[in-house]
Amino acid sequence: MTRLVPQRAGLLWCTVLFVAGLAGITAINALPGGVDLPRAVTGLHDPSPTDTNALHTAIFAGGCFWGMESVFEHVRGVEDVVSGYIGGRSETATYSYVSEGKTGHAQAIRIAFNPGVISYTDLLQIFFSVAHDPTQLDRQGPDIGRQYRSAIFAVSPEQARLAGAYIDQLDASAVFHRSIATTVIPALPFHVAETLHQNYAARFPANLYVRMYDAPLVEALESRFAERYRPRSVRLTSNR
């Protein structure tokens, strides 16, 4: 079994799959550059927050968590983003186990956001349009396996309703020309990933995988959501 050691060895699985991608894996349908999606779900709106100082939580999965994290840590109104594992047992919530694709876990991110600044439907729009390709089943670009599935782990019935309605709207509009593969399920225990994987893209911008697959996602965020874009990673700003 592979164990995490310093940075270079810690890249094992994402780097191996990156090389596989260069050998001919189908390119991501919607990325880089993203797609134009509705600004909000038609006829649906987030409930007004009763306490605008209280942070809310969103949990998304969509491929290698480095890229997902790199997008949302640049979104205004997001106060923290943590990479982790969700969907399996606590004893298998490690990078080496999850990378085998047999644990039930997905690589995911947990977002703490201020609903007085950005709504959950705004986060959904970014998730579906620039953070990943939601039409890919059990993979994301060069990363293949159930651990890279597209999923929304709703922390409330309202989040589940909004996410489901958004997916229905996307499928009906055929904006992606393929069905949405994203699943929506109630949130399960979230296990924080190893320190090496936290804020990875911001700390290692010269890494080949980051340059090829993660940096374009952030560029798409800046291009399509300039009003939402924060130039500096929230976790670098806060020293987390």
Element (H, E) at 209: helix 208-209
| 26 CB burial (10 A radius; 0-12, 13-18, 19+) | exposed
Q: Which of 92, 95, 24 is nearest to 66 (CA)?
A: 95
Residues 114, 207: Cα–Cα separation, whole Å? 31
Give the residue numbers annotated as catalytic, written as ranges. 64
Structure tokens at 192: 């924080």
* Sign of the alpha-carbon dihedral angle for 74, 77, 80, 81: negative
What are the respective helix, strand and coil percentages of the chain, to the nearest 5? 40, 20, 45
| Other CB atoms within 10 A of residue 216 CB | 17
